[in-house]
Chain A
Amino acid sequence: MNSKDQQLTPVSMEMHYKVTGFLNMEYRLLDEERFSEWLTLMADDIHYWMPGIENRRRENLLSEGFYDPNHMAFFDDNITDLSRRVARFAQPSAWAENPATRNVHTLSNVEVFEGESESELLVYSVFQSVRSRGQDEEYVIFGRRRDLLVKSGDSFKIRKRLILMPNATLSCKNINTFL
Chain B
Amino acid sequence: MSNLIKTIDTTDCLEGIESVCDIEGGRISGEIFYDQKIYEQELEKVFARCWLFVGHESQIKKTGDYITTTMGEDEVIVIRQKSGGVKVLLNACPHRGNKVCFSESGSTRGFICNYHGWSFNVEGNLIGQHESGIYEDSNFDKSKWGLKEVAKVDSYKGLIFATFDPDSPTLEEYLGPMTWYLDSLFDNQEGGTEFVGGCIRSTYECNWKIAAENFVGDILHAGWTHDSAARAMLGGSVAKVSDFDESYSVNWNGHGYEFALDTVGNVAVLGDSQLNKYLHTIKPSVAERLGEFRSNMIGSVSSCTIFPNFSFLAGQNTVRIWQPRGPNKIELFTWVVVNKSAPQDIKDRWRKGAMMTFSPTGVFEMDDGENWEYCTKTAKGKVTAKQDLFIGLGMDTYLEDTDLPANVYKGQLNEANSRAFYQRWQDLLQAKSWAEVPNRNKGKAEVEK
Contacts and interface: CB of A to CB of B under 8 A. Distances in A.
Nearest to A92: B228
A96 B367 contact: yes
B199 A72 contact: yes
Interface stretch (A26-34, A107-115, A119-127, A171-179): A171-179
Interface in B199-223: 199-205
Interface in A15-39: none
Contacts of B202: 169-170, 172-174
B379 interface: no
A60 interface: yes
Contacts of B229: 88
A100 interface: no
B80 to A, nearest CB: 14
Given A55-B104, A71-B196, A168-B104, A84 B355 contact: no
B352 interface: yes
Contacts of A92: 228
B366 A68 contact: no
A84 B196 contact: no
* Interface SS of B by simple majority: mixed
Interface in B74-105: 102-105
Given A84-B271, A96-B369, A170-B201, A72 B335 contact: yes
Contacts of B393: none
Interface of A: 50, 52, 54-57, 59-60, 62, 68, 70-77, 81, 84-85, 87-88, 91-97, 133, 168-176
A171 B203 contact: yes
B199 A88 contact: no
Contacts of B381: none
Interface in B1-46: none
A14 to B, nearest CB: 36
Interface residues of B, number: 46
B363 A84 contact: yes
Contacts of B102: 55, 57
B203 A173 contact: yes
Interface in B337-372: 348, 351-352, 355-356, 359-361, 363, 365-367, 369-371
B229 to A, nearest CB: 6
8 contacts: A50-B361, A52-B200, A56-B104, A56-B106, A72-B334, A74-B200, A95-B370, A172-B360
Given A55-B104, A56-B104, A72 B228 contact: no
